[in-house]
A and B are shown apart, each in its own frame.
Chain A
Amino acid sequence: MSELLRFATAGSVDDGKSTLIGRLLYDSKAIFEDQLEAVERSSEAMGSEHTNLALLTDGLRAEREQGITIDVAYRYFATPRRKFIIADTPGHIQYTRNMVTGASTADLALVLVDARKGLVEQSRRHAFLASLLRIPHLVLCVNKMDLVDWDEARFEEIKAEFRSFAAKLDIADLTFVPVSALHGDNVVTRSPNSPWYEGSSLLHHLEEVHIASDRNLIDVRFPVQYVIRPHNDEFHDYRGYAGTVAGGVMKPGDPVVVLPSGFSSTIASIETLDGPLDEAYAPQSVTVRLTDEIDISRGDMICRPHNQPTSGQDIDAMICWMDETASLQSRAKLVIKHTTRTARALVKNVQYRLDVNTLHRDDGTGSLSLNEIGRVQLRTTQPLFFDEYRRNRTTGSFILIDEASNTTVGAGMILGPAAPPS
């Protein structure tokens, strides 16, 4: 059985990110001949000496003209063991929101550093964003090792420096790989140039890293997405609650409680077109039927009686602001979308802004501009059923939408309930 692993990369042209991705795609035969020929033709036309593998992902006209990555590009490759989705994002600070977007669904973050330069501001920022978005696994690729003569001491020095920085972050699993993306050392296979390195090649690590237990399999959370009522003779009284399991393992016979009503019932069956299931867990999309006829609609949450999410209207969260036209201010009113529930939110307080390079907290700014991240307290018009983001990335996340323009202007990660207004 082949599993799916989503990983995010961030970086600029100089650190060899595109070369590394190009190498992974090329060596796993995910680059096709016609794509490569097109890239070779464009590289030549642009006067580039080497085939510019960045052109494989920088597909928009504006990106090609300016020679930069603007938006998240998704790339796909597979080995017999896993299928991979790469969210390839630009690394510059002005694209923080794109990095946050790419990181939101990633199982693993790949951060690159140049062996000659060591850690720079950008590598620290990428590691911080990975930890903020709770990407469970982080791989630091020390690239261009050939340019430091495969010096083990240099690799160890960068490792130590990164470890001391990462101690301030919350990174569950940290791996270091010395590579030369240009020459392919330690990318797909272990390189004879680094006999001192005892770890896996990058691809081998991506294939083997254990991700199954990254999901929350403890707290049952089932946000009701859609109510299925066939209204036909065969399924006359059928009433099923369709949705995607956001946490825990659900089984027929389990006692459950439905929020916000608080009604109790029991799971009668878990159904799919392919037949009933003995159990369901994240991220399966299923239909749950209960033994009792109770009024349940979209936005309700099914959970276990003795393990319920926080139910509340006052929320404390980290927010990444994404709006180009206006900053986030106290008293702003926005639409909030959390699981399958949509409400309105009032910004009670912008507590501090976080400097994404130094992690320094800047109190008293009172607002967040484009690409800035800060701690904010919100009050919503209806109760939301939420968990801490660190406990559940689905029930702990939300987006903010501007009511006039309809655009998505903020991404939120819940820290917990905020103190209710006194």
Chain B
Amino acid sequence: MSTTYELSHLRVLEAESIHVIREVAAEFERPVLLFSGGKDSIVMLRLAEKAFWPARIPFPVMHIDTGHNFPEVIEFRDRRVAELGVKLVVASVQQAIDDGRVIEERGPRASRNRLQTTALLDGIEEHRFDAAFGGARRDEEKARAKERVYSFRDEFGQWDPKNQRPELWSLYNGRHHQGEHIRIFPLSNWTELDIWQYIAEEHVAIPSIYYAHERQVFQRDGMWLSVNEFLEPGPDEEVVTKTVRYRTVGDATITGAVESSASTVEQVVAEVAATRLTERGATRADDRVTEAAMEDRKKEGYF
């Protein structure tokens, strides 16, 4: 046992996140945790498990389902939810399309990324959630670098970057009026490398597609996209078999894989520590639209 009372950076980050999660459970009526089956939301769910042990997590989890899923991720999601005994709510983009709430984009670069906002806000409204935990990190993107841990959203789910509440010490202000809600980002201060180091140190299980595997892919916009039931390569796009892994897991039509031979968590940590590209720059077509793509989407109510 240490006599200097020092904690590693991962333990400090863990403690800060648990503090935030408990604070929300204590002060909000109906929180929900947004769970995609991606590594960040898996770590967030693990922290929620720690925050309330030996009791169960006192709120449900919600998956914003674009309908374009990696099967390994859905299987993982269902297994984890069953282990923890938490309730799963699925807010479906397909349902929103079928109900005529949104119109599917068309063309070779069509994506359901933006449509998720409607499904998310509908889900929050339908279940009257007043706090929604998201796994976003500030190191991911420059608009996120400016967002609070408690991010206030108005009746339309909008983020107003110029009108954010000051956030000091570990004192969080979650007060809101009926119909408004707060997005909560307990992983704000974690980096991609922290997440991977934590997964390694804690032996956190994650979907297999995060580790190197062989996959049929084709190149589009400088990314390796997987051939699957939702995504057909164009006539000029040659399909090849590559050893790849995913750095992020999102909609299967816009999330790129990276060439990698990292098949263990230690190898992934080493690879992430050495990489010279951000995970969003390397693997997400959704952030490439404009320089302020994330800020603009967040203003509309996005994650």
Q: Hey, what's the 0/1 contact readout for B10-39 against A, CB within 8 Å counting as 1? A: 011111101100110110000000000000
Chain A residues with Cβ below 8 Å from B276 are 29, 32-33
Binds A, one of B88-96, B127-135, B159-167: B159-167
Chain A residues with Cβ below 8 Å from B146 are 59-60, 71-73
Total A-B residue contacts, Cβ distance less than 8 Å: 189
* B282 CB–A CB distance under 8 Å: yes
* A279 CB–B CB distance under 8 Å: yes
A61 to B142, CA, bound (A): 10
CB atoms of B171 and A398 under 8 A apart: yes
A78-B193, A230-B54, A394-B170 given; A71·B161 CB < 8 A: yes
Chain A residues with Cβ below 8 Å from B277 are 32-34
Tell me the nearest residue of chain B to A411, going by C-beta.
Answer: B168
Chain A residues with Cβ below 8 Å from B162 are 60, 62, 70
* B7 CB–A CB distance under 8 Å: yes
* B1 CB–A CB distance under 8 Å: yes
A115 to B170, CA, bound (A): 36
A397 to B172, CA, bound (A): 12
* B183 CB–A CB distance under 8 Å: no
A3 to B4, CA, bound (A): 12
A244 to chain B, nearest CB (A): 5
* B236 CB–A CB distance under 8 Å: no
A252 to chain B, nearest CB (A): 13
CB atoms of A283 and B12 under 8 A apart: yes
* A298 CB–B CB distance under 8 Å: yes
* A226 CB–B CB distance under 8 Å: yes
Q: A81-96: which have CB < 8 Å to B?
A: 82-83, 85
A32 to B38, CA, bound (A): 22
A41 to chain B, nearest CB (A): 8
A411 to B1, CA, bound (A): 37
CB atoms of B189 and A76 under 8 A apart: yes
A215-B5, A229-B55, A284-B15 given; A61·B292 CB < 8 A: yes
Chain A residues with Cβ below 8 Å from B11 are 284
Q: Hey, what's the 0/1 contact readout for B51-76 against A, CB within 8 Å counting as 1? A: 11111100000000000000000000
A100 to B167, CA, bound (A): 10
Chain A residues with Cβ below 8 Å from B167 are 101, 408
CB atoms of A73 and B145 under 8 A apart: yes
Chain A residues with Cβ below 8 Å from B145 are 57, 59, 73-75
Chain B residues with Cβ below 8 Å from A33 are 276-277
A95 to chain B, nearest CB (A): 11
Chain A residues with Cβ below 8 Å from B13 are 4
CB atoms of B188 and A408 under 8 A apart: no
Chain B residues with Cβ below 8 Å from A72 are 146
Q: Hey, what's the 0/1 contact readout for A241-275 against B, CB within 8 Å counting as 1? A: 01110000100000000000000000000001110
* A278 CB–B CB distance under 8 Å: yes
* B122 CB–A CB distance under 8 Å: no
CB atoms of B9 and A3 under 8 A apart: yes
CB atoms of B164 and A71 under 8 A apart: yes
B126 to chain A, nearest CB (A): 24
Binds B, one of A7-15, A178-186, A192-200, A231-239: A231-239
Chain B residues with Cβ below 8 Å from A78 are 9, 191, 193
* Pick from B8, B141, B189, B282: contact of A74, CB under 8 Å: B189
* A418 CB–B CB distance under 8 Å: no
Tell me the nearest residue of chain A to B168, going by C-beta.
Answer: A104
* A52 CB–B CB distance under 8 Å: no
Tell me the nearest residue of chain B to A57, going by C-beta.
Answer: B145
* A206 CB–B CB distance under 8 Å: no
Q: Enumerate 9 A-B pairs (CB-CB under 8 Å) in ascending A order.
A: A34-B282, A38-B291, A97-B166, A100-B168, A101-B167, A232-B56, A283-B15, A284-B15, A285-B51
Give 6 nearest A-B pairs by CB, closest first: A59-B142, A34-B281, A4-B9, A230-B55, A285-B18, A273-B53
- Contacts A285-B15, A399-B173 known; 9 new A-B pairs at CB < 8 A: A32-B281, A33-B277, A60-B162, A83-B9, A105-B169, A212-B4, A232-B56, A244-B15, A340-B26
| Chain A residues packing against B (C-beta within 8 Å) | 1-4, 29, 32-35, 38, 42, 56-62, 64, 70-76, 78, 82-83, 85, 97-98, 100-101, 104-105, 212, 215, 217, 225-226, 228-232, 234-235, 238, 242-244, 249, 272-274, 278-279, 281, 283-285, 287, 298, 322, 335, 337-338, 340, 393-394, 397-399, 401, 406-408, 411
